[in-house]
Amino acid sequence: AAVTLARALRPAIAAVALVGGLALMAAGAAGLAAGDRLIDPRLPMAAATLAFLATSLTAFSESRWREARLRRRFEQHLAPGVVERIVADPGSLKLTGERREVTALFTDIEGFTQTTREAGPEQLVAVLDGYFEGVTRIVGEHGGMVDKLVGDAVHALFNAPLDLGEHPRRALACAVAILDWTESYRAVGLAAKIGLGRTRQGLETGIAIVGDVGVGAKLDYTAHGEAVNMAARLEALNKELGSSICVGPVAASRCDPARLRPLGTVELRGVGSVAVSTPV
């Protein structure tokens, strides 16, 4: 009973329940003694207390280990407030995989390959450090999750791993904020000196499969699906359209039309005709 209490209830409530149980045990022994039936309750009471303490310590250690593991997994991907929500309610997170609607946002720096040839290594790393710090901060401020950093690109997800209301609208606002910030960032200091290019972005909404992928310590929470592929292709489409942000049709349909203007209809291999937009 002591072990069950320690595992099933919160520590304070379990301790009160244990004390109550021990008091009942002592009272029962006293009642039996009044009827000339002697039972020494000290040994079972001591055993119950030790079992309760040992189980509580084990459960506490397991809880702290799970909490530390979740923090390590997500503190580089999500805003601190979202990480705290996950730690407080780990059951809300489905790491083993689920189908979930997400808005995917991909960024890329124009002409970055040429920049790597011309810039010094220390300068390039310093500029990228500042760039990633700014972009990932903006993603977190808009409720998104940084899926991964690939070269000079940032891959972000909205509405994963936890529900995020109006995630297409938030992703669009995030893309506009990233563009504004990166334009300011590349106009001054080392970024201007090495000629850092403008940031192009693509975003689209759709169903994706999200969850842990990998082995051992190399597990990575990520997403796979048409929306993710579309975001990448829309980002690349900016080169042809001369735009900085290219928004897919599903995401556009979920945002305020007054905030978008059409870029036209394009043919994407394997998809067909797609109407794309950009923020006003």
Q: Model confidence over 2-47: pLDDT tens digits?
A: 888 887 777 778 888 888 888 888 888 888 888 788 888 888 888 8
DSSP SS3 for 89: coil
**Partners of 100 in the β-ladder:** 208
Closest CA to 164 of 181, 139, 182: 139
pLDDT tens by residue, 118-174: 999 999 999 999 999 999 999 999 999 898 889 899 999 999 888 899 999 999 999
Which residues fall within 8 angstroms of residue 259, CB to CB, at 6 or more apart?
172, 279, 280
Cα–Cα distance for residue pair 76/146, rounded to 1 Å: 8
DSSP SS3 for 13: helix
Residue owning tokens 């009160």:
16
Pairing of strands 245-247, 199-213: parallel
What is the separation of C-alpha 280 from the centre of its chain, rounded to a whole number of angstroms? 29
Cα–Cα distance for residue pair 251/30, rounded to 1 Å: 73
To which H or E segment does residue 169 belong?
helix 167-185
For 119, 168, 190, the CA distances from 248, given in Å and listed in that order, are 34, 10, 34
pLDDT band at 256 (very low <50, low <70, confident <90, very high): very high
pLDDT tens by residue, 57-103: 877 777 676 666 666 666 655 656 556 665 666 665 656 678 999 99
Cα–Cα distance for residue pair 246/110, rounded to 1 Å: 14
Give the tokens for residue 209: 């499969």
Closest CA to 140 of 101, 82, 70: 82
Q: Residue 72 has what pLDDT?
A: 65
